[in-house]
Each structure stands twice: as structure tokens, then as C-alpha cells.
Homo-oligomer: A and B are copies of this chain.
Amino acid sequence: MRQILDRIADKWSLLVIALLDERPLRFNELRRTIDGISQRMLTVTLRQLERDGLVRRTVFPTVPPRVDYELTPLGMSLHATIQALVTWTEEHQQEIAAARTAYDADTRPSQAVSADDAL
């Protein structure tokens, strides 16, 4: 069960599942939308999601080739939960940012505690 949680609680997997909610997307559509993901990580992530039965991969034998990725029913059942997590993050990011600032001010007045601050 921990191995499943690890898989699902992966930042790229989360984003991919969140994005495939509306409609199937092609490889490069995902690549462009998920700013910062490398081709390699997108491939790896999609393979894992496919293996776990969360995403279906459909190859169109055309030239140039075309591959669609879409959520399976299992994937869609997970999407609701994922979405709740994303929504929570959106709603509370101000509080978290404030908590970080307060924490850093209390404990390390003149030094950043992590590189997160630079993002």
C-alpha cells in the first residue's frame, strides 16, 4: 500500500492526472502544459500511470505518429481526490507562505532556510 501511495503522491503523476480530466491529451500537449517537466520524466510518469491502470495509451498508426493519453475509469475515480488536494493547495497557499515567513523570521532571522524561497 505504501508503494501505491508513493506512486500516486508523486508530483508529476498528480499533475498529469489533474490535466487529463477534461479530455485526452497528446504527448507534447502534456509536455508543453506541464512547465518544467523533461521528456524523460513525462515518459516515465506516463508509463507508470499506464502500468497502474490509471491512464490509457492509444497509438494512432499515422504519419506522423500520434499517441493519446486519457484517464481510465480507475484514473477518473482518483481524479476527484487529486482535485481536492489541488484545491486545498490553492485555497491555503497564502497561509502556508505566511507560516513559512513567520517560521523563518523566528528561527533564522538573516538566512533563508531552503531554496524554496527563491522560486
Task: Categorize the interface residue count of chain A.
Answer: 35 or more
A85 engages B8 (CB within 8 Å): yes
CB of A84 within 8 A of CB of B81, answer yes
Please pick, from B15, B51, B119, the residue contacting A104 in the complex, using a CB distance under 8 A: B51
Q: Specify which chain B residues have a CB less than 8 angstroms from the CB of A11 in the assembled complex.
A: 2, 5-6, 9
| Chain B residues with CB below 8 A from A103, complex form | 50-51, 53
Known A-B contacts A81-B81, A104-B51; A89 and B14 likewise in contact (beta carbons under 8 Å): no
Closest to A119 in B: B3
Q: Which 9 A-B pairs have the closest CB atoms?
A: A53-B99, A51-B103, A9-B9, A81-B84, A6-B11, A52-B96, A4-B89, A81-B88, A3-B116
